[in-house]
Amino acid sequence: MGGASSSEQTAQSETPTFFTQEELNKLKSDFEKGGVEKLKPYLERKVVELDKTELNIAVTGQSGAGKSTFINAMRGLQSTDKGAAEVGTTETTKVPSRYPHPNLPNVCYWDLPGIGTTRFSVANYLKEMKFKRFDFFIIIAACRFMENDANLAKEIKKLGKNFYFVRSKIDCDLYAMRNERKEINEKEELDKIRTDCIKRLREAGIRHPTVFLISSFQPKQYDFSRLNEALKGGLSNVKKRIFVLSLPNLSVEFVRKKSEMLKKSIWMSATLSGGLGAVPVPGLSFACDIGIVIGQIIFFRKCLGLDDDSLLKLANRADKPVEELKAEIKSPLRGEITRDTIVKFGMRASVVALSAVEFAFDFVPVLGSIFGAGSSFLLTYTILNDVLKDLTESAERVVNVAFGTN
């Protein structure tokens, strides 16, 4: 048999990754039996499932390893921000402490007491901390990994969970080396630290350890991005989506990954539009559900860090005036979203929509041609794509101004 056509390849690239093949087959079957109306109840349940998906991440390690600082960095917070994990030079965590993401509260980081600071054995520690509720575990060490860290990893593995070794405070190590020796080869020193950590973990019984070297105060450097890629790779498609959307905007690359993930769910909102909430766009036969569109725009802004609270946190982190960041948001979607705002975008999007029939028909290959060119689906789908592109460009400019680099 020959290879797939270019249109089929394009359609396949648009397949929503948080649907299993079985679910896509069911969508196709339902559509063939009852058309679009047959699809809507299932898609409504799927949207609720995506909105309510929880991700629980456990962070553990020895006292003073920097667990709280790491949790704050992963949530884009500083220690002085509201809701930040308490940071101290002594052990501040006595019981598991839950820290939800400021914009996506279904993503929760749990600061666990270091096993060396508790009265429990490793086995009892797992039970006491209710380890089964966590999706994966991050074991942090500031100097070297101890036998307890390795034993904990082995017990976690027995539960069928993923774990990751993180060596923190790398910036402090390099600073001390420079004070002592003036000039150092940073790469060589990092390799030495990594090799020593891996050696000690192997000696403690971990066969193929991978260690990530990070500084929670400098998340744009060292292994922070590589760690996030590893964490993402170990998750199911649905949880991978919410994890990516929860990451702080540290670079244009992060912004684009979020945008790609948001784009994959636009077709569901478009399919659900066109019911009682559909409002015609003046001068056109098209209509869209204003409520759905407004809800998605607000969600896009939060995920892309363009809401007021996120901008203020980013400004503080980058040590820039918040007004300087806001000035980079040229979009009319910056302020209050009204029906008139949507209508303007609808007029703009309709020009694209009229010439985008073939693209829309291929948006999910398993379903094929669902709607005609004048449908509410096509207008909503095109508006939201236009909106997402507009907001993504603003978010990229904000990050470039905040950090001065791509």
Tell which residue, 47, 17, 24, has the closest CA to residue 365.
24
Residues of the chain with pLDDT under 50: 1-15, 353-363, 365, 369, 372-374, 406
CB 302 within 8 A of CB 311: no
CB 232 within 8 A of CB 245: no
What pLDDT score was predicted for residue 213?
Answer: 97
Query: What type of residue sits at position 166?
Result: V
Structural domains of the chain in order of their starting residue, each with its CATH number? 6-51+252-403 (no CATH), 53-246 (3.40.50.300)
What pLDDT score was predicted for residue 275?
Answer: 60
What pLDDT score was predicted for residue 87?
Answer: 80
Q: What is the pTM of this model?
A: 0.83
State the Cα–Cα distance between residues 9 and 11, nearest whole angstrom.
Answer: 5
State the Cα–Cα distance between residues 128 and 125, nearest whole angstrom.
Answer: 5
What pLDDT score was predicted for residue 212?
Answer: 96
Query: What type of residue sits at position 196?
Result: D
Q: Provide the token pair at 53.
A: 């998906």
Q: Which value, in Å, is the radius of gyration of the alpha carbons in the chain?
A: 24
What DSSP line would sit under 29-81, residue for residue? Answer: HHHHHHHHHHHHHHHHHHHHHHHH--EEEEEEESTTS-HHHHHHHHTT--TTS
Per-residue b or e along 352-373, where b marks 16 or more CB atoms closer than 10 Å to that residue's CB: ebeebbebbbbbbbbbeebbeb
Q: What is the pLDDT of residues 3-24, one digit of tens each?
A: 333 333 333 344 456 777 787 7
Q: What is the pLDDT of residues 72-102, one digit of tens each?
A: 999 998 888 888 888 865 555 567 899 999 9
Tell which residue, 233, 332, 342, 238, has the closest CA to residue 281.
342
Tell which residue, 281, 285, 241, has the closest CA to residue 263.
241
Please give the sequence-ordered ranges of beta strands (E in DSSP) within 235-344, or none if there are none.
278-280, 287-289
